Amino acid sequence: MITYIRLILLLLVCIIISFTDIKRGKIQNQTIFFISGIGIVFDLIFYIFVERSLIVLFLSNAISLFLIGIILYAVGIWAGGDSKLLGVVAIIFPAELYWHCNYANCSLLAVLVLAFLSGYLYLFIDSLYFAMKHKKVISVKKGLNKVKTFLLGYLRTLVYIAAINQVYSYFVYTHIQINNVIYLSFLMLSVIVLNKFIIFKEKCIVLSFFVFDVGMVLFTGYVPISTKWENYIFIFVFMLMRIFFEEYNYEEINIDQLQEGMILSTTSTLHFLQSKVKGLPTISDESLKSRITKEELESIKRWKNSKYGRKTIVIVRKVPFAIFISIGIVLYLIIGEVLI
């Protein structure tokens, strides 16, 4: 009975939060805190009085999701509401319904993987539609530059991934054996973080990790790419899709259509530097941290009619992610019921 109550609570919060995220672009804290409170009460009843053997399993999965949510928020990939929703999932999702995986059973992380996969599928279809609708075709020269940038970025990422694999294989594997789905999701998260910060693109940093990789190969005799090569192919496709999304991730709109919470492109904010209008946004890094405030919106509207103003502006097209977390939960339940 308690299992079904928690499931109903989880699906209810997903429906409410997905609706508000799509409709208003915000996730209400009151909803999250209220349902989390109810979920904690049922957790205490279940894991203390009904099934104590699942406490460790529950805590390992919950802590893992909490940490990932914090990281995704800290690097500006997720909004605070998305991270809080992931926390609610960690609290309410019944441990007795986790997938039974070998080794370290943090299978609830698969919800995150399924959420990202469904999100990427949507972005691919949406970007394709946007490209055809606006007849936006990449020139040959620009395309070649994109390929060059992608290949260099992939090789750079491989250096870091190889280092992670070496550390895991030599120092961690003998103590903790992590399920490959969980490990692959960790690598995906690493790719996002590595490509987010400029410091990881510095030649001296990349060279240092490359020397570490070579040293570990000579010391251990283990070549990272020689095993689980499918992970490297998956990362290749993952990064390639990111390049495709970024190309069709912008939209030019009239400033009158601009709304609070939208994200301006970096190029658009550079136009503000020569203006004397006060309260304009600083240079955008195109992450969720660069969402414009109500005051900045008013300043931009004043800037439109100033000496250096323009009637249109380029925004970054962002998709509410709460709906994909909800889809990930539903897919997890279906796969667990049918296949696992």
CA atoms of 111 and 62, how far apart (whole Å): 12
Q: Are residues 59 and 12 in the same domain?
A: yes
- Structure-block tokens of residue 157: 């990422």
Report d(CA 328, CA 335) in Å as an integer: 10
pLDDT, position 316: 82
Share of the chain above pLDDT 90, in %: 6
Q: How many domains does the chain have?
A: 3
Task: Confirm whether 107 is domain-assigned.
Answer: no
pLDDT at 139: 61
CA–CA distances in Å: residue 274 to residues 269, 280, 292:
10, 11, 19
Mean pLDDT estimate for the chain: 81
Rounded CA gap, 296 and 96, in Å?
A: 48
Do the domain assignments include residue 83? yes
Q: Are residues 240 and 305 in the same domain?
A: no
Domain co-membership, 171 together with 225:
yes
Q: What would the mean pLDDT of 292-307 be, rounded to a whole number?
A: 89
DSSP-H helix ranges across the chain: 2-24, 29-45, 55-74, 80-92, 109-133, 140-167, 180-194, 203-220, 229-247, 266-270, 294-304, 322-338
Residues 78 and 43 in one domain: yes
Same domain, yes or no, for 142 and 241? yes
Indicate if 93 and 177 belong to the same structural domain.
no
145 and 240 inside one domain: yes
Q: Is the same domain home to 226 and 297?
A: no
Considering only 3-7, 81-85, 184-188, 263-267, which range has the smallest mean pLDDT? 184-188
Mean pLDDT of all residues in 209-234: 78
Is residue 19 domain-resident?
Answer: yes
Question: Is residue 122, in this structure, part of any structural domain at all?
Answer: no
Kindly state whether residues 220 and 282 are assigned to the same domain.
Answer: no
Q: Does residue 121 lie within any of the structural domains? A: no
Pairwise CA distance, residues 121 & 110, whole Å: 16
- The torsion defined by the Cα of 112, 115, 116 and 117, in degrees rounded to 10, comes to 120
Residue 288 is assigned to a structural domain of this protein: yes
Residue 35 pLDDT > 80: yes
For residue 59, what are the domain limits? 2-101+321-338
Instruction: Please give the pLDDT value at position 103.
Output: 47
- Please indicate, yes or no, whether residues 242 and 165 belong to a single structural domain of this protein: yes
Say whether pLDDT at 144 is over 80: no
Same domain, 178 and 217: yes
Is position 118 within any domain?
A: no
User: How many Å apart are CA 147 and CA 267, to the nearest integer?
Assistant: 22
Which is it for the CA torsion 178, 184, 189, 192, positive or negative? Answer: positive
Would you say the pTM of this structure is higher than 0.85? no
Residues 265 and 166 in one domain: no
Does a structural domain hold residue 130?
A: no
CB-based contact 260:294 (threshold 8 Å): yes
